[in-house]
């Protein structure tokens, strides 16, 4: 049976449980896929990115250095920008809906979003933790007073906050639940869209089968979320595995998979926002038709 399945490497985002549920319940195999999780890329995205430039980040390397085909996911802005810069194509037949928040230490004098004026917020460069900061804080502060510092993936950002290296950190699931259990204080929260991107060589049976498997996992999570919450242990970075007796039953479900087509007009909105934020240096192709994988 295994020989008839289509091999595919997947680097989970770790912001939700759908990949892990699909693997555990056999939904990938049911869609004709033999999925191998790319733990190297996944753990790399959780690590420090200090000193790295765009195209050098762990999620970039399958395209720029390793030349290996990997299915990945990121925020709406990051995925579209990555595709525009020549790293893969955007899958628009489904998207994720994820929480986001900025946290500080409990003793911090920062109480309101306005208190983040000129305070460098720890982010992962040109990823969801980064783009969310100007997108959400601009309601409270002029752009020139919204500052970020490139720390890297969520393990690195959470550690930098705990160690006092930064005053505030932009966090995603499951770091949000981890920060809450550690007694860190939330300053602002919201939600944002995520997208998947695939290499140009990806075949329709891989792309569409993968998305259908994620949707199957979403339905399973809706039916019995508590059953799958222990799978969060797969998303916790190694340095945090024994750091604290995590209560996964309180983690929530993180990113939710939405089985709906992303409107094409969102591409233009992303490009307009990224230009205003001064993060458009690597944009090339801006056509939704050529950047999107055929549905």
Please tell me the distance from the alpha carbon of residue 53 to that of residue 220, in angstroms, as a whole number: 39
What's domain 2-98+193-291's architecture?
A: 3-Layer(aba) Sandwich (3.40)
Q: According to the model, what pLDDT value does residue 239 have?
A: 85
Please, which residues have CB within 8 angstroms of residue 161's CB and are 6 or more apart in sequence? 103, 104, 105, 122, 168, 169, 179, 184
Q: What is the pTM of this model?
A: 0.95
Low-confidence ranges of the chain (pLDDT < 50): 1-2
- What is the structure's pLDDT at 66? 77
Q: Where are the domains of the chain?
A: 2-98+193-291, 99-191
DSSP of the chain, one letter per residue? Answer: -GGGSEEEEE---SSBSHHHHHHHTTHHHHTTEEEEE-HHHHHHHHSB-TTPPTT-STTTHHHHTS----BEEEEHHHHHHHHHTTS-EEEEEEEEEEEEEEEE-TT-S--SGGGGTTPEEEE-TTSHHHHHHHHHHTTTS-GGG-EEEE-BSHHHHHHHHHTTS-SEEEE-TTHHHHHHHTT-EEEEEEEEEEEEEE-TT--HHHHHHHHHHHHHHHHHHHH-HHHHGGGGGGTS-GGGTTTS---GGGS--BSEEE-SPPPTHHHHHHHHHHHHTT--TT-----HHHHBPP-
Tell me, yes or no, if the two domains 2-98+193-291 and 99-191 fold the same way. yes
Q: What's the rounded Cα separation, in Å, for the pair 109 and 167?
A: 10
Residues 6 or more apart whose CB falls under 8 angstroms from that of 166 comprise 120, 121, 122, 149, 151, 157, 160
Closest CA to 127 of 74, 91, 90, 168: 74
pLDDT tens-digit map of 135-144: 999 999 999 9
Q: What is the pLDDT of residue 93?
A: 96
What pLDDT does 3 receive?
57
pLDDT at 2: 45
> What is the per-residue pLDDT for 288?
96
The domain defined by 99-191 carries CATH number 3.20.20.140: no
């Amino acid at each position: 049976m295994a020989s008839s399945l289509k091999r595919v490497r997947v680097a989970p985002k770790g912001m939700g449980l759908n990949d892990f549920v699909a693997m555990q319940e056999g939904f990938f195999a049911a869609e004709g896929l033999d999925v191998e999780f790319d733990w190297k890329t996944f753990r790399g995205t959780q690590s420090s990115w200090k000193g790295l430039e765009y195209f050098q980040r762990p999620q970039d390397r399958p395209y720029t250095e390793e030349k290996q085909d990997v299915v990945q996911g990121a925020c709406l802005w990051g995925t579209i920008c990555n595709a525009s810069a020549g790293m893969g194509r955007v899958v628009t037949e489904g998207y994720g809906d994820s929480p986001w928040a900025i946290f500080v230490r409990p003793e911090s004098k920062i109480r309101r979003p306005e208190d983040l004026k000129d305070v460098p917020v720890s982010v992962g460069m040109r990823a969801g933790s980064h783009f969310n900061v100007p997108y959400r804080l601009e309601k409270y502060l002029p752009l020139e007073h919204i500052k970020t510092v490139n720390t890297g993936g969520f393990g690195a950002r959470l550690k930098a906050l705990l160690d006092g290296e930064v005053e505030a950190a932009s966090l995603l699931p499951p770091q949000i639940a981890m920060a809450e259990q550690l007694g860190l204080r939330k300053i602002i929260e919201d939600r944002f869209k995520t997208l998947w991107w695939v290499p140009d060589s990806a075949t329709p049976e891989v792309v569409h089968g993968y998305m259908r498997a994620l949707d199957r996992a979403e339905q399973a999570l809706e039916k019995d979320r508590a059953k799958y919450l222990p799978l969060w242990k797969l998303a916790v970075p190694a340095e945090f595995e024994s750091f604290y007796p995590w209560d996964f039953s309180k983690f929530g479900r993180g990113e939710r998979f939405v089985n709906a087509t992303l409107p094409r007009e969102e591409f233009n909105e992303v490009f307009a926002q990224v230009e205003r934020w001064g993060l458009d240096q690597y944009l090339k192709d801006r056509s939704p038709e050529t950047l999107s994988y055929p549905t």
